[in-house]
Structure 1
């Protein structure tokens, strides 16, 4: 398993991936630390908002910040991301205002954000289905001639994120088949957080998840998912290979979901505190902070500034969330297709008339429907 930064904050070399982080200076490492702290602050606040009844559901990413921020920093602007539903840190690295993630979970928006504004697709609640969408998009990039040209302003790649539980879905295997057959420029990034709701990874697979890739003809690598530097390095290598026309790759980032699967889940029913304590000692934020402190690349003033920025972010998240209101129901008919469609227009008109019928039925006596 590739590791470049251990839990004690010590740097390690690697014969294949060590050189890929050689250009990460103190500023780049501080940026990773900042993004991890902001992601955790946002995620913690969103979880609290759900507990207060402000969100219908939330999928926490607590403990997985290293995998998300490390890999997210390896992406080029032209690359396209297909997330599942807990890639809040990746969204942050793509420049998306993370507050825009909230309306879907509050139920005030039927779609979400503009995927093309930051090359970050909408969240997929259906487990594993988006991997096929990612492969299809990657095949489209091929057909547009934006792979293997040698022009960094033209060559592109796709990365799709999913969890260990998704690897048990047929859609993932189908995505592997199509990606390998088409030599598509796509990186499959598996966040193995050890638990598919209440089912451990060991029950789902008798071999490491990365071992599945070679069976499909896909090069694979296993990486310490709580090491942002290693996640950056392996993702950078896979993306460079994809952009150059080398085809798909599979990355298994071994991490841990410190919180619940979603806020409707109770992890105390299926795992013990000792396991959580073991992984708490491998926290990705703590290890990078240790490294920055020991190397003299960040001081107390820097950490205080990041904490203050995190507090400002969470205050804005609370205010924004509570201000969200649902739009008209007929919005569900918008953006079904990229161009106007007569059937959708007819259904929209029919539903609008149906809603208007309730308004017309108000009684003259009490104003009740």
Structure 2
């Protein structure tokens, strides 16, 4: 799609065009402070840690030439306002997850998560070596942004429910918190889908404003306290097998930096990518054991529900295909995922199954 025509017709064209008129700062050599806003409430386990890691490491690696000040959700702008804030130049960068902003463009789903989509490793294969980076540059430049993958939570849990889910019919009328295309899938099953910032989910669940929620996984969910409200926990979900957190910088700000400073931001994001994933994976098993010891009932969805998830996901992912940028990202993403999966299932997947059998894991 032609960028100019997109900006003319898009609902966010005004904000993106305004970002394009900002004068590039003229202080590439001097010390400067960059403001990072975030979709995460301060202290949210893992995700806020990832944002803080990026802020601290950029500051340290530039020896103070860049000082990044992190503003958690609500401290400067709201959780769902960070995209516009950085696009327009109100803030310099944001840390978040971009399926929150699919109203800006549906292709943002491919750089955060699609249901039944890529795992963490498969995304990295695509982004770094199989065309994903070029597509990200094309898409995000429309909004005056520069995108970097900055961490994954690993496969997310199916969520917390106030009742057991025995068939697809049990989603009918269920008030459930799930953002992105995963939430659109539940909508097709009859759920009333809510998109609520992470810092507000506990209150919504505890007051009955929602009947259930997904969040991240055992460690972050335990820290959020959902086990105090309900004991029904589905450990495997379809919606986010490898969600990618992002570090997005205002493009003109990024281009005003020195080559060395730009490299630092890119490499810090890359380091955060692996650091964040290992943070979650290192803590999840112990947290799951504590949840179970505390009376949480660990559940798995029946096959009929998985089948309904799959049918809904195919419909949802196919719906925006008339948008040329979305289709280009979709085709590249799916081709790369199929290629990665063919080898991973034949190598690591087969090995892991045999290792767990032989070692009684």
Instruction: Give the structure with higher Rg (CA).
Output: 1
Q: Fold match, TM over 0.5?
A: no
Band of TM-score, shorter chain: under 0.3
TM-score if structure 1 supplies the norm length?
0.23
Greater percentage in strand: 2
